[in-house]
Structure 1
Amino acid sequence: MLRHVINQTPLESSREQSILQYQTDNGFMQIYGGNLHAMFNLRYQLKPENVFYPDVNSMLDRLEAKDTEITNLITDFYPYSYGTHPSRLEDSNLFGNYYGMAIYFNPDQNCYPYEYKANCPSDDVDYGLDFGCDLGNMMQSSRKMRPFVALFAVGNFDHCFYYLHFRATSYRPSTDFFREYKGNHILNNFFLHYEAQCRYGAFDASLCDVWFYVSNAKEWQSSEMPPIELYNRTYTSDYYFGWTIREAVSNTLFGYTMVSRRNSVLIPEIEINAVAYKLLEIISETGNFCPDCYYDDDVLSVPVQFSIGNASVVNSMLPPSVKPLQTGFVQFRAYGRTGSVYAMCPAVKVNDWRSEFVCIGGMMNPDSPYLDDCNDFTNWNGLPNTAVQEVTPVDYAHSQRDLDSTILIFYR
C-alpha cells in the first residue's frame, strides 16, 4: 500500500490526512523475493542505462534507399565525388582547387549544472559518422550518398539548449550568380520548412545548399518552432549559408542536402521545391522521433486499487507537460533521458524519458551527470527556473504541495 501525505504528518493520523492511498492485491511481491530489497537486487536492478538518443540512421537508411527518387527530380543531376577529407566534400567541378564544402554545427546550453558541459563541441561535421550530445539528447549523422544528406535530431527534452547554429561553408568565388528559394510543405501531421541558396556560373557544375527542418506536434510532440535567422555571408573565395535559432526547440529534425547540376546551369525553384517535398515524404515514414526512448519489457507495472482518491486526482497532480500518462499503477524501475534509473513511479505507468518528472528514488548515470537525478523526488520541481505553484502543477513541475509531501510504503 502507498499513502501520499504532507510532510511531518503524524503516522497515526496519516490515513485521515492523506492525499492519495492505493494498494495492490495480486501478491506480486512474493514472486520477487517478498520485499523491495530482494526485488531490486534479484530482478529489477537499479543500474543506469544508456542516454536516450533520437534515431537518425533509420531516416538516413530510407533516404539512401530512395536517393534516385531525389536526384531524378533535378534535371541533369551532377553526381559529385567526395574526395578524402573527413569533413569536406571536395569535387573540382563544383569547387575547383578550393577546399570544398563543410557543415558546421554549434549548440549552446543554458541549464544546470553550469559546470557540466555536454559533449557537444562546436565543430565541422565528420561525414558518415554518428555523434551524440548527451545533455541535449541530440544525435547527428550524415551519408556520403548522392545527394549528400546530414541530419540533426534535436531531442532537447528539457529545453537545455537555447541556441543552435547550422551552416554550410562552400568555397566558390564571389563571381558566382546565386538565387534564394524558400517554402513550406505539409504532409499529414508533418511540417517541413526549407531555405535554399543556389550558386552557378563559376565552375562546371552548379549547386544548391538546402537547409530544412521537420516537426510533428502530434506524433513527435515537437515544440513550436521559433523564428529562424538566416545566416548568409559571401566573401572573395567562399560563402556561409545557414540558420541560427535562439530559443529552445525540442523533438525537431534539422537537415541539410546539396544537389547539383551539370554545365553550371541554375537549378530552378520548382525542382528544389520538389526535392523538399520528397524529403518530407521519406522522413514522414518515421513513427517515433526517438524510438529508443521507449521501454516496456524491463520494468514491472502493477495495477492498484484506490481507497483514497482516484485516477482523476492523480491526473490533477501530474504536470501538464508530461500528460497523458496511464494512472492506476505502481511501477518499479524507470529510466530518464540521461540514462539515470528511478526506483518507483507512484500511481502512474511510464515507458519513456518523462519518468524523471513523475517517479521517485533516482540514481544518477555516472557517465552523464545531471542535476537532481539522484534524490527522492528527482525532478518533480520541473525544468530549471520554473516558477512552482502552491497547489497547481505547471509545465514539467508538480505543485509545491506535492514537493512538500511524503510517500509512505507499506507491505507485508
Structure 2
Amino acid sequence: MANLVGVTLPHLVEMGALLSDAAAIAFFREHGLLSSNRLCSHCNVAMVEKKRKCLDKVAWRCPVCSAELLRGSGVIGGPGHIVAIDESVIAKRGRGANAQARPVKQQWIFGGVDLTTGQCFMRFVDRRNASTLLPLILSRLFHLYGSPVCTNLVHFAQKILPRVGPKSCLEIRQGGETRSGIYRIQPVQSTPPFKVYCDLESAGGGWTLVASIHENDIQGRCTRGDKWSSENGNYENSSRTSSGNWENSNTFGEVESATSDDYKNPAYFSLQASDVMIWHVPNDVNISQLSSNATMKYYTSSGFLRNYGGTFKSLFRNYFPLIPMSTDFNITSMVLGFNQSQSAIRSAIPDFHVYRYYYDYYGDTHNYINDGGSDMFDYYGNRLRYRIDNRYYEDVTYNRMYSAPVHLLAASSHPFNAMMWISNEERAASTIRFEVYGNAGADGDGITVANSGFTNLENFHLQFHYNCIYGANDPSIANVFYYISNDADWNSVPPSSFTWYSSSNTDHYSTEVQANGRPRFILMGYMLLSK
C-alpha cells in the first residue's frame, strides 16, 4: 500500500472510471486491493479465472466442481432433505458483417441441488419436454420416497406424482442418458426405487447390474461370508439344497461395494430382462471405474432369458437349479457300489479268508469280530473309531449310518468295508483320524509289514497306507486305509499330509491314519483283507 500514499478514495474512483474492467482489476490487484486467487467454497480448491469472450469481464470457475457437476452420476436427496430442480437455456449472439445480431442455437440445461448437503447435478439436454427431463428427475432423486421436490416446472407435476422411477437402466438409456454410473430404478411400483449401477455404454448400453459374486477366500472357497453359497446364503437352514440366494428374493450388499463384497439387489428377481452380460472385475475397484477395469465382458444377444421367466431368480429356481457338488454325498450308494465289486476283490486274493462276524453281548449291534474263524482274532478284533481334532473318539457300529459330523457307513461285507465322507465345508476341522484296533490271533507270533503309496485315475487322486500281520498259523490281517480327492468334480481340498501310525505288535495291534490341513470334500476309507 506504500505506493498508494497520497491517493484518496475519490482519486481511485476517478482512476477506475477511466479504465476498462480488465485494466481496473489489474490495477487493484497490483496494489493489493483485490485478491489474485480464490478458493472454491465447496471443495476448497483454487479456482481458475476465465475471461469472457463477449464482454470485457472475467469469471471464476472451479475446475473440480465444474467437471464433477457434469460428470457426476450420484443420486441427490434423501429423508429429510429438500431438493430444488430447474431448467434454463443458454444462448449467445454473434455479429455478422452488417453489424446486426443473429441468433445462435440455444442449449438447454437441467439441474438440481440438495439444499441440505449442497450436492448437485447438471445435464445438457436437447429439449425441455417431459420425455427428456422426467427420466433424469426420476433417476437422480429420492423424491416421493425420500425428499420433497421444489420446482417451478408445473407441467411435470401431474406426471411425477403417479409415477415413481424408471423401470430399468435400459429405460434411462432410451431417455438419452449416456453416462454410466449409479442411478435409481423401480422395476415394479409396489417397491420403492433403489440404487443400481447402469452401464449405458457397452453393447448399446442399458445394462443393469443386479448382482456380484465376490470370493473372499480363494483358497477356502464357499467359506464363511460367501453369501451365495455358505451359511450366510441360507444354505445352513436348508441342508445346502438348491434353495439358496440364487433362487430367492433376499437382497444383500451395497452397489458402491459390489467389487469388495457379495451383492444382490431387487432387480435380480423383479426386473424383466431378455439378455445377460457378465464382467470379470478385480477386487476393490471403485464403482466409478467398474467398466474401464473389467478384464473380460461377454453377453448374449438372442433374448434367451425371456424364455426362462425373464429374471435370474426364475432361471435358477424353475429351470436350472444349482446343485451343490459333493455336499450331500450319498455314502450308502458308494458302499453299495463297492460291495458290487467284492467278488472281484476276493478273486484277486488267492485263498481269501471269509471271516465270520460276531454280535456283541446285547445281540443287536455289530461292532467287532470276535474270532473270525481259524483264530484270526482272539476277541474284539477289527474295532473302528474316528476322531475330529481334539474331540472324543467315536466308536463305529457296523451297518449303522452316521450323518453328523461326518457321513460314515461300515459294511459287514467280504471284504469288510468302511467309508467316511468328510465335507468340512467351512474347513473348521483341522485333523480327522480313522483307527482300527483289536487283538490278533497271532498272539505275538509272525511279523508285521507296513507301506504307503498313491495312484491317480482321471480326476481322482488316491493315497493309501496298509499294515499287515502274517507269518503265523492264523489267517493274516491286512488293514488298508486310504483317502480319495477330486478337485474337478468334488471341489476337494486334499489333506496337506496323510500320516499314519502302525504298531509292530502282533498281539494287540493298532493302525491309525490322520488327514491334516483342514481337508474338504474327501472320501476316507478302510478295508480288511485276509488270506
Q: TM-score if structure 1 supplies the norm length?
A: 0.49
- Structure with more of its chain in strand, by fraction: 1
Kindly indicate which of the two structures has a greater share of residues assigned to helix. 2
Query: Normalising by structure 2, what TM-score?
Result: 0.38
